[in-house]
Amino acid sequence: MDIEAAGGVVTGGLLAGAVEKPTGKAGETHGGVCSDCGAATSGNFCSNCGQPTHVHRTLLHLGEELLHGVMHFDARIWRTLPLLWLNPGRLTREWVQGRRTRYVSPLAIFLFTLFVMFFALSFAPHHEGPAVQADEIAQQRAAVEAAQRTVDELRADNTQPQAIQAAQMVVDQRRAQLTQLETELRDGRADGLKPGSWQASLKDMATGDADDEPGHLQAKIAGQEIKSGGHGLGATIAKKLQNPDLALYKLQQTLYKFAFLLVPLSIPFVALLFLWKRGFTLYDHGVFVLYSLTFMAMLLMLMVVAGSFWGTFGLVVINLAALAVPVHMFAQMKGAYSLSIFSALWRTVALMVFCTIVIGLFVTAIIYLGLGH
């Protein structure tokens, strides 16, 4: 997984570099003739095909090209990042208006940030839940005793047999859960998963309780009950969740491959905010979305690092980062589209609502593509 993520970073960086046009000086002229197309040259680049007039043939330069392609370490990145964080509206507006050679393009920085984000998240530590504790068993034992007392009272009152049978089923179910907890505390889980881990919790959710029909297992996913012994999308997802590590791997790979879907999903919603205003095109909204998503990806990386390594201070950073989301949206909206404070404010509120819808659509698509086949 980590090797694949590292390869993804390199691939993404090279891809981002491929969509960038060269700027700055390429070296001294090479005989006044382009070595590619043969046209006469008078500067650092051929006016006919755009190739640099100085052709490097050293191993050092090959390493320099790789570093530049992957990391984008040139003057543009240091002009782009401060504006992206502190003045996103100006960055978006200047790119749309054609002042582009000084900045990294929104598509390039978005692609590169995505790959770096997934590379970084692949190394993030996974916190396991607490293992089964003795007090948890004590609570479950008390619940069994309380349920048994209810059954005894119903029998003493000569209640209808159906009610007694239903209450007895509750007792049997809680006793089975108590037995499972005691076994996990003593011997661990039979499936080899660590008690209290997210893998164990996910598998328990997927298997659920036995249904009336043999072979049918039920779980709740997104608030909906599904049966793994049945048919359809819900059954397929429940079945795959019974192997938590494989399911997580498939979801990560799907998220990695289809993260770009956030762009086409977001552009129409941004366009709705300016439906009656002339002068803005889908390209303008696309630039806005790309720069905004890039900032959110960087913010997510910061929050993961803070939560994983910085303890209590990390919680403060996470809360501040969450507050930065609407603030950044407002600043970018106001500056990019030259809006008044009120116009930018209500559009920011609407955009936050639209973001919830987009995230819902995106998560649904990722679950379907990752687990629904």
Q: Which residue type is seen at 58?
A: T
Identify whether the C-beta of residue 195 lies closer than 8 Å to the C-beta of residue 185.
Answer: yes
Task: Render 127-187 in DSSP notation, one character per residue.
Answer: PPPPPP-HHHHHHHHHHHHHHHHHHHHHHHTT--HHHHHHHHHHHHHHHHHHHHHHHHHHH
Looking at residue 234, what is its pLDDT? 62
| CA pseudo-torsion sign 209, 213, 214, 218 | negative
C-alpha distances (whole Å) from 88 to each of 15, 170, 182, 280 are 24, 58, 56, 17
Looking at residue 220, what is its pLDDT? 46
> Which are the contacts of 356, defined by CB distance < 8 A and separation ≥ 6?
none
Domain spans, the chain: 2-121, 134-248, 251-371
Looking at residue 221, what is its pLDDT? 44
Q: Which residues pair with 225 in a beta bridge?
A: 220
Looking at residue 200, what is its pLDDT? 60
Identify whether the C-beta of residue 251 lies closer than 8 Å to the C-beta of residue 264.
Answer: no
For the chain, where are the E strands, in sequence order? 218-221, 224-227
> Which are the contacts of 48, defined by CB distance < 8 A and separation ≥ 6?
34, 37, 39
Q: In whole angstroms, what is the distance from residue 17 CA to residue 15 CA?
A: 5
User: What is the value of pTM for the model shown?
Assistant: 0.65
* 3-class secondary structure, 40: strand
Exposed (0-12), middle (13-18) or buried (19+): which is 221, by Cβ within 10 Å?
Answer: middle
Place of tokens 């159906």: 162
Q: Cα 234 to chain center, whole Å?
A: 22
Q: Cα 330 to chain center, whole Å?
A: 22
Looking at residue 277, what is its pLDDT? 86
Looking at residue 41, what is its pLDDT? 81
Q: In whole angstroms, what is the distance from residue 206 CA to residue 217 CA?
A: 8
Looking at residue 5, what is its pLDDT? 54
Backbone angles phi, psi at 61, to 5 degrees: -70, -30
Looking at residue 69, what is its pLDDT? 58
Looking at residue 158, what is its pLDDT? 75
Identify whether the C-beta of residue 29 lies closer than 8 Å to the C-beta of residue 44.
Answer: yes
Q: Cα 101 to chain center, whole Å?
A: 30
Looking at residue 167, what is its pLDDT? 81
Identify whether the C-beta of residue 262 lies closer than 8 Å to the C-beta of residue 290.
Answer: no
Please report which helix (H) or strand (E) contains residue 119, including its range. Answer: helix 106-121
Q: Which residues pair with 240 in a beta bridge?
A: none
* Among candidate residues 163, 30, 98, 110, the one with its CA nearest the CA of residue 292: 110
Exposed (0-12), middle (13-18) or buried (19+): which is 300, by Cβ within 10 Å?
Answer: middle
Q: Encode the chain (373 residues) as per-residue pLDDT tens digits.
A: 445 555 555 555 555 555 555 554 444 444 578 877 888 887 777 878 877 776 666 666 666 666 565 555 566 888 899 999 999 999 999 999 998 888 988 988 898 888 888 877 766 665 554 555 566 677 778 888 888 888 888 778 777 777 778 888 888 888 887 787 777 665 555 555 555 555 566 556 656 543 433 334 444 444 444 444 455 556 666 666 666 667 777 787 888 888 889 999 999 999 999 998 888 999 999 999 999 999 999 999 888 888 877 778 888 889 999 999 999 999 999 999 999 999 999 999 999 999 999 999 999 988 888 776 6
Looking at residue 62, what is its pLDDT? 64
- 256: tokens are 């990695």
Looking at residue 226, what is its pLDDT? 47
Q: At what angle do helices 88-96 and 311-337 cross, to 10 degrees?
A: 40
130-133 long-range contacts (CB < 8 A, ≥24 apart) are: 130/196, 131/184, 131/185, 131/194, 131/195, 131/196, 132/181, 132/184, 132/185, 132/195, 132/196, 133/185
